[in-house]
Amino acid sequence: MTSDPSKSAAPTVGATDVLVGSFTPELPKASVLVIDDEPGMRNFLSKALVGHCATLDVATNTEEAANLLDANSYDIVLLDNVMPKQNGVEWLADQRRIGLFSDVILMTAFADLDTAIAAIRAGASDFLLKPFRVNQLLNAIARSLARAQLLRQNAVLRHEVEAGKDLLHNSDALLGSSNAIKSVRAAIAKAATTSSHVVIRGEVGSGKQIAARMLHSNSSRAENPFVWLQCKGMNEDTLQTRLFGRIESNSDDHWQEQDGMLRDAAGGILYLEDVEMLSPGCQNLLVELLTTGRFRPIGAKRSVAIDVQIVSSSTQSLQQAVNDNRFRADLFYMLNVIEITLPPLRERGEDIVELIRYFSESLSARLGLSQPALPPVTRRRMLAYRWPGNVMELRNTVERALINGGYDPRLGKTAATGEIESLAAVEQRHILETLDACGGNRAEAARRLGVARKTIDRKCQAWGL
């Protein structure tokens, strides 16, 4: 076996090596595995890295390193090339095939082209030519971490594009002064202080995904990704591929890795929309994932620990789905640690005018269109309308009005759906319909309803009229 000349003169860490703050990068705390059979090099690397790592493990040979990889996940692996039994490039190729998901920096004393090509084909992300100094080591790690972060950001953006939705990535979409929406904001703020799994329940268009993003942006995971998965129509094979990823080998025995959403969302939030629509097989996969806390990409022989907070959304009661034997009870208890219920828009009467104003201003600025007038009769009808599509329907109504230059006069003329309304919603709709019938004359509306004029005034003020 070829000898490595750097082993005969392993570097030592002195004051000039460690105290290099003027040109040493500030590193995020990463988990690092060092693999080297030379004690002097291991000592050098350990001393150089100890203050820069969240965790630092050291292996003296490839067998020991493989065992550590079976038990732990690492951001960076520092791999010596010349070692007994099997060189680093060969070992790396074998490990990539069975599941090595870290960035690997190869340490070598030979900068020949053949070694470089073999290392790249095996999956090395960078090289360090021996002997090297501490700042060179830290800069190589910084490059690898930055590249990994960029790849994750690109993956998250790809998921956003696949979602195909015009999402509002800010908490303003949950604006309003009603007690109902204030309670929701308080519940989100409380849930954001934990890493417990959350279920957000609400009707279509009520803002479940916006609430999930608000939770993410206010949590300690805000600097890490928010990854979205639509569960409706998902079969078991597709879910496993999307969540776990896969490792494949082509005809030349070169491995190809496709990251799954769990790795893309590492440290952040995985949002499962319409979780009640998962098939029994998909539910089984989630139960195993949450029970073991690990997953194995398709084609891999090594599992990976997960570090994600799962936020699920549902348009119906998961407890009822359990009672109907459509949803696994154990999965329900795992996901439903915290439950947040979004009120329908028809029960947030005092928020409707505020939302109209917000959407009108933001959409007119984006589309370059003037804001249409909102006559009193239109405002009353919008307040009396039941909004089956909730905030999403209201937003689309405002956008359509901007494009058409005014609101549809037929708005609010739809027939009742037969759904049970709250007493406050029924009262609001009845008063506003009476006002509409009286042409906005509050005194006449009060006479017909058999209440005092002040009662009508007070109600209208609360609703933003």
Q: What is the C-alpha to C-alpha distance for residues 17 and 32, in angstroms, rounded to an integer?
A: 20
Q: How many CB atoms lie within 10 A of CB 80?
A: 28
**Residue 366 pLDDT class (50, 70, 90 cuts):** confident
Q: pTM of the entire structure?
A: 0.70
Give per-residue pLDDT as tens, 51-100. 888 889 999 998 999 999 888 888 899 999 888 888 888 899 888 888 88
Residue 1 has pLDDT above 90, yes or no: no
CA separation for the pair 232, 273 (Å, rounded) = 8
Which of 315-319, 328-332, 385-389 is predicted with the least confidence, judged by mean pLDDT?
385-389
Give the count of alpha carbons within 13 A of 126, CB side only.
20
DSSP per-residue string spanning 116-136: HHHHHHHT--EEEESS--HHH
Q: What share of the chain is helix, strand, coil (3-state, %, to 5)?
A: 50, 15, 35
Tens digits of residue pLDDT in 127-182: 888 888 898 999 999 988 888 888 777 766 766 665 544 444 444 558 888 899 99
* pLDDT tens per residue across span 8-45: 444 444 333 433 334 456 667 788 999 998 999 999 99
